[in-house]
Amino acid sequence: MTRELTYAQAINEAFHEEMARDPTIIALGEDITGGGPRGVTAGLLAKFGRARVLDTPISEGGFVGAAVGMAMTGLRPVAELRFMDFLWIAADPIFNQAAKMRYKSAGHTCVPMVLRTLQGTSRGLGATHSQSLEAICAHIPGLKVVMPATPHDAKGLFKTAVRDADPVLFIEHKRGAYRKGPVPEEPYLVPFGQAAIRRAGSQLTVVSWSNTLMYAVDAAEQLAAEGYDLEVIDLRTLVPLDLEAILTSVRKTRRLLIAHEAHRRGGFGAEIAATVQEQLFGQLAQPVVRVGALDVPVPYSQALENIVLPETPHIVKAVKEMLAR
């Protein structure tokens, strides 16, 4: 049986189910005992107590480092980094400890921790609270990078992340917290490394993830009314990457557009574009195109933000320019 939940409600439900299932799961972060700004940790304190639901000081390096230590000694911590922009403060425990511990210990020590974080814009938060940094995390061997776009995937991927033996960056989007969608009542998992085809088509492949996926689907539906036939792929996880899903689609359509909210320069779209052109160069009808944010800090002004960040009109324009060549 399926009902409608918001993205935040879906993760909250998964949190409750997983903490009830596994007593080694510990939740920690700033102000999480009150439910957090979007209610993702609501009810955890009342149900599981202060031994398992921990408010921390505003010290990202401190509590993320503590989570790494917990994970190395038999617990499964889920730490909340309120804004992904503060990733740099916790960079050493994430990049140099959690990501490399299995390698440094010759496989004897793993770090089964989840780092929940929010990225992207939410109207007027400015340059230091609106960044999309997934490409940096995907660059680090040893980290898994998860970016659900729908409430269904948010719940299923979170449950998979909590059960994983290695560190997982679970990246939520600020605008997606209250988006509703169907979520089954019965237990389920969504596997890592398995993309989803959100719309089948034959003329051009659009690859996207997280909040921008919604703009990609919207653009495809708008363009369908004008006779265009787009296939839209939701990656769901960047590491591991379902490369075969991308290649299979592009072999069919012979065209690829990649859309993401992160800055275009150095974004994860560049990695996908390079890989596709390496493997399918002779089968492409034209070069791969990327749509991303302009290479400037995200402005406070909503009018300027609308110019800087890619949304439905930007994808529509790029598709029409590609197919007009």
The set of catalytic residues is 129
d(CA 155, CA 10): 5
C-alpha span between 235 and 249 (Å, rounded): 13
Torsion of CA 18, 20, 26, 30, to 10 degrees: 80
223: helix, strand or coil = helix
Q: The tokens 């539906």 sit on which residue?
A: 221
Nearest to 8 by CA among 115, 83, 116, 112: 116
For residue 81, which of 150, 43, 31, 46 has the smallest C-alpha distance? 31
Between strands 2-6 and 289-293, the pairing is: unpaired
- Find out whether the peptide bond into 240 is cis, omega within 30 degrees of 0: yes
Q: Pick the closest to residue 115 from 157, 57, 67 (CA basis).
A: 67
